[in-house]
Structure 1
Amino acid sequence: MALAIAQDELKNRQISYDIIRSKVEGGLSAREELFQAELNLATSESNVQNKQVDLDNAKDDFRQYIGIPLSEEFDIITDIGFNKVAVDLGKAIQNGLETRMELKQREIDIRNSQNDLTIAKATNEFDGSIDLSVGLFGEDTRLPDIYDRPTRSPQVQVTFNIPIYDWGERRSRIKAAEASIKIQEINLDNERTNVEIGIRQTYRNLLNLDKQIETGKAKRKERRAYLRNQPRTLQKRRPYQHGP
């Protein structure tokens, strides 16, 4: 692609050089313009050679990558056509807000903070436990007869945890967890705003690029028409030139 663009530029430079040379020979332009045209033409020729070298090097790298002989030739065909695609800004924003992974991660952070709040509220609260043990033991030299004469020692254990004074630990943890939830909610709102701004900016850039492409096509058409008409204009002017 880069080589093709450089070749097209060289063709345009060659046409421009021929036109300027004809004008200089006909006395319509200063010779300095011809010198500048020669420099531009030489620069374009050098650019084409550089792009050709880059292409040949890239081909060798590609041959090595896919495992074919370096002497084997191949062609790469690309489609550089421009097809317009209609974009609904409202739908694009809606889809972005529903599917972007950044937003899902922010929602997960909020749920984790809510879990931390639940744990903080359970700090130093009243709780109790009951342990019940049957206490059935047996001994025998033979495994099948181990419970023929068992020893019974049942046991019941009740434990209560009654906080007497909090010292502010539970309250501090709850406040910290609530603050974390608010921060995560703010982060989620900011992330949603960033996603929407990014989509809106991309949409505007697409509209701008569409206009630039249309403008480029018009300029190319105008330039080609100008280059085609230059030789005719020069031929019409030459009969009116008077030599010494």
Structure 2
Amino acid sequence: MNRYRYNNRLFICTIFIFFFLGTHTIEGQSRQSNDVGTLSLQECITIAQDQSAIANAARYALVSSKWEYESFEADLLPSLSLSGDAPGYNKSIFSNVLDNGQVTFSSRTQSEASASLSINQNILPTGGNLSLSTGLTRLGIFGNENTYLWQSTPLVVGLSQPLFQFNNLKWRNKTEPLRYEIAQKQFVEEMEDIAQTVTQQFFDVYLAKINRENAEFNVARNDSIYQISQGRYNVGSIAENDLLQSELALRNAESSLTTARIEYERVLNDFKILLGYPTDVTLDLEEPEELPEISVDVSKAKQLAMENNSESLSYRLNEIQAERNLAQARSEAGFAATLNANFGLNQSSENFGDLYNNAQNRQFVTVGFEVPIFNWGKRRAQVNSARNQQQEVANSIDFQRRQFIQEVEYTVSQFLQLRGQALIAAQADTIAQRRYEVAQNRYLIGKIDITNLFIAQEEKDSARQAYIRALRTFWTGWYNLRALTLYDFQNDQPITYEF
């Protein structure tokens, strides 16, 4: 009996251990799945470009533009279509005039069905349309004896050609490829804008983290200074004003710590949302990497910006559209005609087997035209309006191009100075940290008063914040330059993204 109880207890303990280990394993896996880890700036940018809502929206916009361009390309290729009428039924009474002039009424019952298969090809240089078609029609007449009549068009070649008219397809062939190219450039720019936004918020979070750590450090140090001040006050070595000043500094540091923690949580949650994560995940940021040495040639940057930037390409698109509007106004103001020509074969028979024997010619040619004679100067006014709009667009684009080039020059010249400013800020941060350590040691041995110590502490915190802001400005300027030129000067290659 005792052995049985022992084995039973051992069994229960074994189950409990397995349950405990399994539960903690699941909890550990859950915590691990919610722990993103420590991320560098480049890792944050890659994550945002892969999974953020902004990046996904940019991909959908590019895919939409891709399908629009493929729709235009389909207009340049042959199209196959099938048309016809399902068997219809018609029973009616109609009037019939006999040879002697007498009018009688007769009854008629019939059905008719037809089908036609055609291939159509738009002609890009002329704006016309070429077609090949074949068709079949069956007519059924019902009475005392049912009769079926067949008609076939084995092959019909058709041409519809506008003469002296606006060729919309030709102009679309100029604008649609450019629109798609602009959409592709805009997608790359969106990715670089995401990188720039992530960079800004990365340093906002990192600065908030530094402010929180500084506030925690200051609370600990100010608490120690307050304890030291109390001892010195008790022995009469400092006045009550210095004691109160150290206590006030401690309370202010505690208040700043609370504010810094709240601000850090706020910017960190905003950053998580930007990266595409829920706010309950845990992540931390690595210290920003060292500043790379990047050389940028201003002339090359301007050339790349004019070739790659979507804004520069939009200038060319606006110019083409203005030229298109002028060409359309001119064509609509003059003589216009349309040539329609068909040639083919047809045959009819009561027997389906005879439909394709000895087919007869089927052909016709028509020319429709329109000549404006008098419209109170409306067409001339439309042409003049389009011509002046073209000049307006040309001058406006010339001004915008100059502004754009000036922006590129300013961005490059500013970026070339940012690295030097960041290095100076790093040196100032190092000096301020060292000065605070010296001031603290001098205060402990009574060489300086508490006011000078707190001044050194404020300068220490300000120098660290200025350094982080200088890093933020450098990396933001770097990604701004990349977005303007769509070129990676660090690796000397164009910027491309898969979608």
Band the TM-score falls in, shorter-chain normalisation: 0.5 to 0.7
Change (3 A) 1:152 1:13: closer
- Aligned counterpart in structure 2 of residue 11 of structure 1, from 195, 201, 217: 217
Give the aligned partner of residue 459 of structure 2. Answer: none
**Alpha-carbon distance between aligned partners in 1 of 2:244 and 2:253, rounded to the nearest angstrom:** 14
Give the aligned partner of residue 76 of structure 1. Answer: 284
Alpha-carbon contact 2:212-2:257 (below 8 Å) kept:
yes
**Alpha-carbon distance between aligned partners in 2 of 1:150 and 1:90, rounded to the nearest angstrom:** 71
Give the aligned partner of residue 425 of structure 2. Answer: 216
The Cα offsets for residues 53-77 of structure 1, whole Å up to 9 and x where unpaired, read as: 5666858x96xx768xx7x9x6534
**Alpha-carbon distance between aligned partners in 1 of 2:236 and 2:421, rounded to the nearest angstrom:** 38
1:85-164 matches, within 5 Å, as 85-129=294-338, 138-146=347-355, 157-164=366-373
Query: Partner amino acid for 2:401?
Result: R
The Cα offsets for residues 85-125 of structure 1, whole Å up to 9 and x where unpaired, read as: 33333332322222111221221121112112111111242
User: Per-residue deviation at 1:8?
Assistant: 2.5
Query: Partner amino acid for 2:321?
Result: N
After alignment, is 170-179 or 216-225 more displaced?
A: 216-225
- Aligned counterpart in structure 2 of residue 235 of structure 1, from 445, 463, 469: 445
**Alpha-carbon distance between aligned partners in 2 of 1:153 and 1:206, rounded to the nearest angstrom:** 74
- Per the alignment, in what secondary structure is the counterpart of residue 350 of structure 2? coil
**Alpha-carbon distance between aligned partners in 1 of 2:369 and 2:442, rounded to the nearest angstrom:** 107
**Alpha-carbon distance between aligned partners in 2 of 1:87 and 1:153, rounded to the nearest angstrom:** 71
Change (3 A) 1:137 1:226: closer
- Aligned counterpart in structure 1 of residue 382 of structure 2, from 173, 188, 196: 173
Change (3 A) 1:98 1:4: same
**Alpha-carbon distance between aligned partners in 2 of 1:134 and 1:225, rounded to the nearest angstrom:** 96
Alpha-carbon contact 1:103-1:188 (below 8 Å) kept:
no
User: Per-residue deviation at 1:79?
Assistant: 3.2
The Cα offsets for residues 189-234 of structure 1, whole Å up to 9 and x where unpaired, read as: 2332332343344345445644543443333333233333333476
After alignment, is 100-109 or 89-98 more displaced?
A: 89-98
After alignment, is 36-45 or 11-20 more displaced?
A: 11-20
**Alpha-carbon distance between aligned partners in 1 of 2:400 and 2:345, rounded to the nearest angstrom:** 62
Alpha-carbon contact 2:323-2:390 (below 8 Å) kept:
yes
- Per the alignment, in what secondary structure is the counterpart of residue 445 of structure 2? helix
Change (3 A) 1:48 1:204: farther
**Identity of matched residues, %:** 19
Alpha-carbon contact 2:346-2:361 (below 8 Å) kept:
yes
**Alpha-carbon distance between aligned partners in 2 of 1:234 and 1:154, rounded to the nearest angstrom:** 112
User: Per-residue deviation at 1:49?
Assistant: 4.0
Change (3 A) 1:39 1:153: same
Change (3 A) 1:141 1:86: same
**Alpha-carbon distance between aligned partners in 2 of 1:214 and 1:27, rounded to the nearest angstrom:** 46
**Alpha-carbon distance between aligned partners in 2 of 1:29 and 1:211, rounded to the nearest angstrom:** 45
Give the aligned partner of residue 242 of structure 1. Answer: none
- Per the alignment, in what secondary structure is the counterpart of residue 76 of structure 1? strand
After alignment, is 174-183 or 131-140 more displaced?
A: 131-140
Unaligned stretches of 5+ residues in structure 1: 239-244
Unaligned stretches of 5+ residues in structure 2: 1-205, 449-499
TM-score by length of 2: 0.37
The Cα offsets for residues 157-198 of structure 1, whole Å up to 9 and x where unpaired, read as: 455544434632332122111122122223322332332343
The Cα offsets for residues 128-179 of structure 1, whole Å up to 9 and x where unpaired, read as: 4555566976543223334779888976545554443463233212211112
Alpha-carbon contact 1:121-1:174 (below 8 Å) kept:
yes
Change (3 A) 1:54 1:43: same
Query: Partner amino acid for 2:291?
Result: N
Alpha-carbon contact 1:136-1:151 (below 8 Å) kept:
yes
**Alpha-carbon distance between aligned partners in 2 of 1:96 and 1:27, rounded to the nearest angstrom:** 71
> In the alignment, is residue 35 of structure 1 matched against residue 244 of structure 2?
yes
- Per the alignment, in what secondary structure is the counterpart of residue 122 of structure 1? helix
| Alignment size in residue pairs | 231
**Alpha-carbon distance between aligned partners in 2 of 1:47 and 1:40, rounded to the nearest angstrom:** 10
1:60-71 matches, within 5 Å, as none
**Alpha-carbon distance between aligned partners in 1 of 2:391 and 2:245, rounded to the nearest angstrom:** 67
Alpha-carbon contact 2:209-2:264 (below 8 Å) kept:
yes
Alpha-carbon contact 1:6-1:51 (below 8 Å) kept:
yes
The Cα offsets for residues 1-60 of structure 1, whole Å up to 9 and x where unpaired, read as: 3233322344356557739949x759887643543443333333333344445666858x
RMSD: 4.3
Alpha-carbon contact 2:219-2:257 (below 8 Å) kept:
no
